[in-house]
Amino acid sequence: MKRKFFRTGVFVFVILGIFSGAAFSAYHHEGEKDSANFSQVYPDKAGTKLDQCALCHSGGKYEKSEGKFTSLGSCQWCHYSYGYDGKGNILDTVNPYGKAYHDNGRNADAVRKIEDADSDGDGFTNKAEIAAGRFPGDAGDDPNKKTAPFRVYTKAQLDAMPQHTEFLLMNTSKSGDFYAEYTGVPMEDLLKDAGILNSATGIKVFAPDGWSQYHPLETDADPAMYHINGTYPQADYQYDSQAETWCDYSAASCKNRNTGETIAVQNGLKSLLAIKREGGYLTPGILTADNKLDGEGPYRVIVPQKSPSPPDQASNSENQNVKWPYNETWDHNAGACTRTATIIKVEPLPEGTTDIDILEAGWNYVDQEKIIVYGAIDDTRRDGGYLADSDLWIRAVIHTEEKGDIDAVWKKGGSDTTEAGDRVIWGHFYASPDAVNWGSSQNPDLFVKIWFDRSGRTDINFFHVSVPNIDVYSVYPYGTETAAQKSTATLENRYVRHEYQKK
């Protein structure tokens, strides 16, 4: 039987996941009640990578044929295992940290009780991992990991890349089918531009409402797995006057088409990072008052049907006595087409790396019309550095005697917003112990204080506390190379300041 993966605000998902942030993970499944507990104990982690369901929930895999398993991310695994009807066992979806939280009372006190435990058995306490922005329920993520390589794309950059246009059916399970013409960058081309590694096997796409969707790179026999590389089967245009009650045929691209005729798409149907629909830029997504995502832009991942079918009646319609009644075995591809995508994670992460800590950029990236690609991509495609905030990039290079120039590692200390509305981020750079024997995360070489003044001015203050000279770099807003600054902090000139004025 076909497995369906789709957003729904109706599904009562009594989930242990942490969705407390007002930025990236502002979305709460109906019935979710655990967010405030984690936020109460760790208010500074709202909007970080920990502020999502993966804090307590793990991915999983199922056997689709004898000896062959398909892996799913935490969202899809929870939907598959726990079920849209909530009949499964929620504890089957949680990681060791989530289980410890559940077993100790599932409240704020439970979060405190397990602080000194090492739930995932990686040698670091839960409190230490959370302070470092690492998942306490994932043994593969610990404070010794460095941030995975990343690239940020602006709309201007994506617009400048070769574009692909395709007309297709977006077949939903119950929210309304439609035909439309989308234009954008083929996902395969985008990943090549980002420098995807040969070790990569798939991607996970994130939207700022907390949703994530996994896609394998290559064709997969599982009907629920929509691939990235190559093309999809040609489809026929399917129209019936009866279907107008559930399928929207009003798009200009539907004009002069006849039912049953093959839909011709130059270069074939592809997985697409769409920028436009019917020739106009996608409407940016927003979170409605009832906590549902409305809109689909600035970017939407589009995957065509693997097994082309007509638009079938909505699954929740009482009238199934129609030409195309709902058929759960038909291909409902729209549910895998992530709306308002802001993050693409290329899996698996390179050894020794961890997830980027920019999930707070979700809604900011919608406003700024940006998307980030990170993970199993070529590290040499970028010049090192870190996103200290959704739109601020910083880097430090230490001139060592032993190893020459080495990239320093950024460790965020914390952040806050003043009563007056100014924001501050602080932390430090240090030499990696893998690079020099005196390197340590507890041995700062350069302190950093970043001040976002309510007037629009941004100050990046670098304080040299080492011996070697240290080159410091910043770009604000990130992606605008003309807004880059470089300086050198030394024993004689320990304080360096980069200032940016909002235009």
Q: How many angstroms separate the CA atoms of 113 and 48, rounded?
A: 22
Tokens of 454: 């309510």
- Residue 354: per-residue pLDDT: 86
**Given this model, what pLDDT does residue 433 score?**
87
Helix extents (H) in 63-216? 74-81, 96-103, 108-113, 126-131, 155-160, 187-194
Give strand pairing partners of 205: 213, 344
Q: How far apart are CA 322 and CA 382, in angstroms?
A: 55
Closest CA to 239 of 225, 249, 253: 249
Of 293, 278, 287, 374, nearest in space to 337 by CA: 293
Q: How many residues make up the chain in this entry? A: 503
Positive or negative torsion for Cα 377, 383, 384, 387: negative
Report the pLDDT value the prediction gives residue 136, as an integer from 0 to 100.
94
Closest by alpha carbon to 308, among 332, 281, 272, 341? 332
Strands 272-277 and 202-206: unpaired
* pLDDT of amino acid 378: 84
Ranges of the chain whose pLDDT falls below 50 = 1-28, 30, 359-360
Question: Residue 146's pLDDT is what?
Answer: 83
Q: Which of 457, 455, 448 is nearest to 496 (CA)?
A: 448
Please say whether the beta carbons of 16 and 101 come within 8 A: yes
Indicate the SS3 state at residue 487. strand
* Per-residue pLDDT, 20: 31
- Which pLDDT score, from 0 to 100, does residue 2 have? 32
Tokens of residue 342, six digits: 């802001």
pLDDT at position 85: 66
At 39-58, the pLDDT tens digits run: 899 988 876 778 777 788 88
pLDDT of residue 495: 97
Q: How far apart are CA 256 and CA 348, in angstroms?
A: 45
Tell me what pLDDT residue 9 has: 29
SS3 (DSSP) at 231: coil
Nearest residue to 334 via CA among 148, 138, 171, 157: 171
pLDDT above 90 as % of the chain: 60
Helices (H) and strands (E) in the chain, counts: 8, 27
- Bond prior to 477 in cis (omega within 30° of 0): yes
Distance between CA atoms of residues 238 and 309, nearest Å = 8
Predicted local confidence at residue 48, as pLDDT: 74
The domain ranges of the chain are: 35-144, 153-336, 383-501
The pLDDT value recorded for residue 7 is 36
Q: What is the pLDDT of residue 296?
A: 97
pTM here is: 0.67
Instruction: Give the span between the Cα atoms of 3 and 331, in whole angstroms.
Output: 10
Q: How far apart are CA 35 and CA 19, in angstroms?
A: 5
Vertex 322: Cα angle to 336 and 305 (nearest 5): 25
**Rounded Cα–Cα distance for residues 318 and 278 (Å):** 32
Q: Cβ(373)–Cβ(149) under 8 Å?
A: no
pLDDT at 91: 84
